[in-house]
Structure 1
Amino acid sequence: MTEALRHLPSVDRLLGSDAGAALTAAHGRLRATEAIREAVASLRKTVLGGEAMPSDPGASVLAAAEASLSRPDPLRPCLNLTGTVLHTNLGRALLPEDAITAATEAMRTAVALEFSLETGGRGERDDHLRGLLCELTGAEDATVVNNNAAAVLLALNTLAAGREAVVSRGELIEIGGAFRIPDIMARAGARLVEVGTTNRTHPKDYRAALGPETGLVMKVHCSNYRIEGFTREVEAPDLKPIAAEAGVPLMNDLGSGSLIDMSRYGLRREPTVAEAVEAGADLVTFSGDKLLGGPQAGFIVGRADLIARINANPMKRAMRLDKIRIAALAAVLRLYRDPDTVMARVPTLRMLSRPKTDIAAQAERLRAPVGVLLAPLGVEVSLCDCDSQVGSGALPTDTLPSSGLRLVAAGGPGGRDPERLAERLRGLPMPVIARISEGAVILDLRTLRDDAQLLAALEDAAP
């Protein structure tokens, strides 16, 4: 073994070879050096483990280094065929072409982000969105931060720091990443006051909790779970007079938030942002990258005096948006001005409203060509009915009837294990992300824009 280890090439000698020079030219000397060093260390470990030294260790090390340096970026495009339209782990909403164009232009050129073209003086970046938000929601004023969690944190810190925030025990939600309302209240400096029970809260519970230390009353829309059966909650219109009697603002966190009524497309009736404002909430917070279908953002709309206080909070600067997201958001919001075309032009809305007959026809078209592409893997392809969901905590109990392709690995290189087949699909140059159900891999086609996307991705599936 000692004799074998003497044949390990030095990093400097490999860097000086033609192949090493090519790696340096392509990836830079620092990265090439580190990759070669790691490849040498890996080969040493392999030999110490009892394996034979390659006949040409230098070539082996350089090949390993090149493979490491050429590894695809993990943050790359993929096909979301999981059946979850707003998949948090896959980036949530796909942006409309209008938003992509606007963001690209903002990246390419200087923009009047905080510059008044009328006066030549300093402007406000929120002004690019404020008018649109007020127009679409009916609110007096609006501001925007980098996500809805930040919106909730900022509002609580502004209005209830050092004071009490009253909320129903049944609305103390936890969302993804262990984000909990009690924790965010503590970070905001507010003291949580729970009222009611897990399943039932009454107006008298709120009234009994209000006092001189109350900073605000908070209502949280339970967007990622449902409590059913013997339940009761106090709706925002009934909470408004209770908060007003105590002289404190009512804050309504909608979570996902929607600017249009989605019940006409087969989803559960949820309050829109405009309805929450009309119901009397002094502040309404909601997300930009969920049902709205835009980039990640958190909106706060409501009373002008409260928005002014929020904007004066020094924390606001740490949460503000850059020019790229502001440009994209403005483009998305402008699409909502035309209710006749918004469903077709916002990908999230288009996918959620897509009829099953259309998806089933796509599945029928794709079954045969997909079967041909996956035949070398020993995969059998058949049509199937399936259920899609909204995702990202929105409408958690609602599903949408959909259609797709059922892949069964009957043997061959794909193996009989559906996990192995799903892994192979994820390993494609254009990864195909599916779900596994009842021993098969399911490709839910609700979110597939066109047939060519899938067929092009699967061309690399064969061994």
Structure 2
Amino acid sequence: MEQLRKIPKVDRVLESEEVKGLLAEYPRTVVLRAARLVLEQLRKGVLAGEASEDAFSAGAIGSEIGAEIARLIAPSLRKVVNGTGVVVHTNLGRSILPERARQALNEVAFSYSNLEFDLEKNRRGSRYDHVERLICELTGAEAALVVNNNAAAVLLALGSAAAGREAIVSRGELVEIGGSFRIPDVMRLSGVTLTEVGTTNRTHAKDYRAAVTTETALFLKVHTSNFAVVGFTAEVGIEEMVRLGKETGVPVMADMGSGSLIDLRKHLPCDEPNVQEFVQAGVDIITFSGDKLLGGPQAGIIVGKKAFIEPMKKHPLLRAVRIDKLTLASLEATLGLYRDERVALKEVPTLAMLTAPLEEVTRRAKGIVRQLRRALPASVHLSLIHGESQGGGGTLPLLNLPTLLIEVAVDGLSPNELEAALRTSEIPVIGRIWKGSYVLDPRTLLEEDVAYLAAALGATARAGSRE
């Protein structure tokens, strides 16, 4: 009770010299909230028997309030260091944009732009025109449309092409991806009736053919980019699906999920089709993501026959799922790199990370360790061990890439304690626990990340030594 009585009231705290300086620098509401939080934390410390005598001084309280203000006003969305080795990390913002996109964003974000103004004709234009020609050039499609993500693309395409009728889908392709996005739910929301055919592991052309009725509007093929069914399996390939569509008079729509504009099979041990193959096969509507394997901003890209794309541009739902100028600018910049595949593989970070050979990752790992050892105290121990990286983001589920992991240990800290300390550092470092050790994967570490990593490890080591 005696210690509780020592806790000053809020108004007295606000009148102290230490806090007056904070009031001159920050809004009163922020300082007041921070003061209340600090005093409440001090009260809890007293009740738990953990409060020292020094904690009640005006200087200590003022210092804690200053630290609390820094936490309160810090941006919620922050830069982090991705040391997980998961290239397209859904929780860490998926794909990193190429440097050319930074330049495009700087130009468009901080000035007016011709977002919906036709400069040649001096009249209102369409925001969708800025990338349609480029997408058609790269894919060979007749027409294209971009919305805010692939889920929206599927929703719009289904609602435009098949609302009030039915679409036939293999049971093995009724996928669910992150955020509980399920193909059956999207179909229902778009006003399309789902007709399932085949079984989970085997679906044949005869199953689709037998299900066709006068109400059939589409054959829908969904690329299982988030999982793989192996063993006793069968599916109808896209070319066979198109032939079946022509025989029955039913248009074909394909949701490719990740979507790639280069043949990754030439660079990775995978069987990922590219968008151009589907266009050349004659698929009527194709949807895919602008981020993930394409390596651009989050967007949903729809390509295909003009007869199907043009009605989507007039659909009422389009305004609800449209993209903004920042997405357009960064997407156009990213797509431009694909005019030369060699440039895309080098300058699109997602592609560069995925296709980096083990020799390059090994050189990077050894270089990072050398830099860190020069900057860190002896209490930080670094070693190299072989491991695996992953594609992530629901892409290439069977792909494991060989890598050389940096194993990190700090005297006095368990791997879990080290993970928590680095995750909560000023620039958060996100690694992983692998086989009982804390590790960082150089495949996803950027050059600039080494300085942040050194600062976080140094601070963690110093804090550990004080304890």
Do both proteins adopt the same fold according to a TM-score greater than 0.5, normalized to the shorter chain? yes
Give the letter aligned to residue 442 of structure 1.
V
Aligned counterpart for 1:444 among listed residues 441, 444, 450: 441
Aligned to 2:307: 305
Aligned counterpart for 1:218 among listed residues 199, 213, 220: 220
Give the deviation of 1:362 after TM superposition: 2.4
C-alpha distance 42-423 of structure 1, shift in aligned 2 (>3 A): closer
Contact 2:170 2:221 (C-alpha < 8 Å) held by counterparts: yes
Aligned counterpart for 1:96 among listed residues 78, 95, 98: 98
Contact 2:270 2:399 (C-alpha < 8 Å) held by counterparts: yes
Deviations 1:183-225 (A, max 9, x none): 2212222221110000000111111111122221110000011
Deviations 1:246-288 (A, max 9, x none): 4332110000000001112123131111111111211110011
Aligned to 2:23: 24
Give the deviation of 1:227 after TM superposition: 0.7
Give the deviation of 1:355 after TM superposition: 1.6
Q: CA RMSD in A?
A: 2.1
Return the alpha-carbon distance in structure 1 between the equivalents of residues 99 and 209 of structure 2: 49
Deviations 1:394-415 (A, max 9, x none): 1110111111212245xx33x2
Aligned to 2:353: 351
1:47-446 alignment, distance < 5 Å:
47-49=46-48, 54=53, 56=56, 58-71=58-71, 72-371=74-373, 375-377=377-379, 379-408=380-409, 412-413=411-412, 415=413, 417-446=414-443
Which secondary structure does the structure 1 equivalent of 2:120 belong to?
coil
Give the letter aligned to residue 239 of structure 1.
M
Contact 2:18 2:58 (C-alpha < 8 Å) held by counterparts: no
Give the deviation of 1:111 after TM superposition: 0.3
Which secondary structure does the structure 2 equivalent of 1:82 belong to?
coil
Give the deviation of 1:461 after TM superposition: 3.4
Deviations 1:333-370 (A, max 9, x none): 11111223221111111111212112112222333443
With 388-397 and 236-245 compared, the bigger mean Cα shift is at: 236-245
Contact 2:42 2:51 (C-alpha < 8 Å) held by counterparts: no
Give the letter aligned to residue 26 of structure 2.
H
Return the alpha-carbon distance in structure 2 between the equivalents of residues 196 and 375 of structure 1: 62
Give the deviation of 1:61 after TM superposition: 3.9
TM-score (norm 2): 0.92
Aligned to 2:7: 8
TM-score (norm 1): 0.93
Give the deviation of 1:373 after TM superposition: 5.1
C-alpha distance 430-5 of structure 1, shift in aligned 2 (>3 A): closer
Percent of matched pairs sharing the same residue = 48
Give the letter aligned to residue 293 of structure 2.
L
Give the letter aligned to residue 367 of structure 2.
R
Which secondary structure does the structure 1 equivalent of 2:118 belong to?
coil
Give the deviation of 1:4 after TM superposition: 4.6
Return the alpha-carbon distance in structure 1 between the equivalents of residues 82 and 318 of structure 2: 34
Contact 1:224 1:395 (C-alpha < 8 Å) held by counterparts: yes
C-alpha distance 323-10 of structure 1, shift in aligned 2 (>3 A): same
Return the alpha-carbon distance in structure 1 between the equivalents of residues 442 and 44 of structure 2: 46
Contact 1:261 1:269 (C-alpha < 8 Å) held by counterparts: no
Contact 1:373 1:458 (C-alpha < 8 Å) held by counterparts: no
Give the deviation of 1:58 after TM superposition: 4.5
Give the letter aligned to residue 447 of structure 1.
T
Give the letter aligned to residue 299 of structure 2.
A
Contact 1:219 1:251 (C-alpha < 8 Å) held by counterparts: yes
Return the alpha-carbon distance in structure 1 between the equivalents of residues 44 and 420 of structure 2: 28
With 206-215 and 327-336 compared, the bigger mean Cα shift is at: 206-215
Give the letter aligned to residue 395 of structure 2.
A
Give the deviation of 1:74 after TM superposition: 4.4
Give the deviation of 1:48 after TM superposition: 4.3
Contact 2:85 2:443 (C-alpha < 8 Å) held by counterparts: yes
With 107-116 and 304-313 compared, the bigger mean Cα shift is at: 304-313
Contact 2:376 2:454 (C-alpha < 8 Å) held by counterparts: no
Give the deviation of 1:446 after TM superposition: 1.1
Contact 2:150 2:300 (C-alpha < 8 Å) held by counterparts: yes
Unaligned 5+ segments in structure 1 are none
